[in-house]
Amino acid sequence: MSAVLKLDPASAAVPVEGWLVLAMEGLRLALPQSEALQIALAFDLEHVDDGGPEVGRLSRRNGKAWPAYCLDWALRVQRSTPAERRLCVFFGTQDDARGILCDRVWPLAADADLRPEPPRRCMSGPRWPAIGLARFQDGVAVVTSAAELKAYLDFLAEEDHGRLYSQSDSRDPRLNLNQLKEPSCQSRKS
C-alpha cells in the first residue's frame, strides 16, 4: 500500500512509495524517494564560490552540471560547507536537477514510517518549502516535494533574496521552526 501526498486540498494526490529523510543539523527534511535522482558524496562536487547560493556542482557526462546548495537548520543559505555535510541528495529531473547537502540520509521504504500531516496555520510565509509535518524518530520532519524545494531554491537564487536571507535576520519571512513551540501552533485536545 502506498501513501498519497496530498496535503493541500487544491492539489492533486500524488502516490508516494517510500521517503528519504535528509538531516541538516537539527532539521529533518522528508522528500518522496521517487523524486530523488541521485545521492552523491560531497567530496565529488566541484566547489563553486561565485557569490551565489550554490556551493558546488556535480559534473555530468552530458556536460550539464547539477547545482548543489548548503542550507542550515532554518533553511538559510550557508556559504561555507560544514565538515558534517558529507552527502548531497539531487532531486528534480535529469534536465533540471538541484542538490541539497546533508549530514545524513535515512531511506524509508515503508510508507507507514512517515505519516505527513498538513502544516499548521502558523507555518506560513511568502516562500517556504514545507507542505506538511510528520513525526520522525524523536522529533518532527518537515515534509516537502521536489517542486517545492526547486521553487524555494530559485527564490534564494534571486539576487535580492539570496543575500538578505543568507544571514540570521529578524526580517526573514520564512518559517522559524521555534514557532512550532508557540501556543498558536500547538495541537489542541478536544
- Taking residue 126's Cβ as centre, other Cβ atoms within 10 Å add up to 8
Give me the tens of pLDDT residue by residue for the chain, a chain 190 residues long.
Answer: 334 444 444 444 555 678 999 999 999 999 999 999 999 999 999 998 877 788 999 998 887 899 999 999 888 888 888 999 999 999 998 888 999 999 999 999 876 778 888 877 666 666 778 888 898 888 889 999 999 999 999 888 775 454 544 444 443 444 455 555 455 555 544 3
Residue 168 class from Cβ within 10 Å (0-12 exposed, 13-18 middle, 19+ buried)?
Answer: exposed
Global pTM value: 0.76
Does 22-183 carry CATH code 3.40.190.10? no
How many angstroms separate the CA atoms of 151 and 184, rounded?
27
> Using alpha carbons only, how large is the chain's radius of gyration in Å?
16
pLDDT at site 175 = 47
Q: Using the 8-state DSSP alphabet, how is residue 76 labeled?
A: -
How many angstroms separate the CA atoms of 165 and 77, rounded?
7
